[in-house]
């Protein structure tokens, strides 16, 4: 079981490194949604079941949808968005 833990945590650290260094906004948002889903699995491995339910619905669901909506808005009005 420790191999699953190591795999999940390595994926989490890799995703957070990519979020901190990428420049394209769409890739950052998709990485954030995947980060939320993998974090929900980590909560499951730690034994916090309420947190797993709430994280996948709030963190990866609603925050992800809000981010993608803002990106669509910025395509029209955000021509000078700094990269």
Partner 1 sequence: MKSKLFHTLVLSGAFFLFVVLCSALFLLDRFEPVIAEDIIKNLPYSGVSHDVTAVLLNFRALDTLMEVGVIFLALMAIYTVKPHFRYKPLSFENTITNTFVALLFPLIVLCSFYILYGGSYQSGGAFAAAALLAGGIIVLRLVKPRYLSDLQELSLRFVYVSGLLFFILVGIWTLLSGSFLEYRGDIATFFIISIESVLTLSLAVILATYFINAVQRFK
Partner 2 sequence: MSIFIIAGVAIFIFGLVGVILQKGFIHKLVSLNIFTSGIFLIFISTTVHHEKADPLATALVLTGLVVTLGATAFALMLIRAYYKKRNQSENCNDD
Which residues are at the interface with partner 2 (CB under 8 A)? 5-6, 9, 12-13, 16-17, 19-21, 25, 28-29, 32, 35-36, 39, 42-43, 46-48, 50-51, 54-55, 58-59, 62-63, 66-67, 70-71, 73-74, 76-83
Nearer Cβ to partner 1, position 5 or 69? Answer: 69
Told to check if 9 binds partner 1 by CB under 8 A, we report no
- The CA distances from residue 37 to 8, 60, 64, 80, in Å, are 11, 6, 11, 32
Q: Kindly provide the b/e burial profile for residues 67-78, where b requires at least 16 CB atoms within 10 angstroms of the residue's own CB.
A: beeeeeeeeeee
């Amino acid at each position: 079981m420790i191999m699953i833990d190591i795999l999940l945590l390595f994926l989490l650290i890799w995703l957070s490194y990519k979020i901190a260094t990428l420049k394209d906004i769409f890739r950052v948002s998709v990485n954030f949604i995947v980060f939320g889903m993998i974090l929900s699995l980590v909560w499951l491995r730690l034994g916090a079941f309420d947190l797993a339910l709430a994280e996948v619905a709030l963190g990866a669901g609603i925050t992800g949808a809000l981010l993608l909506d803002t990106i669509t808005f910025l395509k029209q009005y955000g021509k000078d968005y700094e990269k």
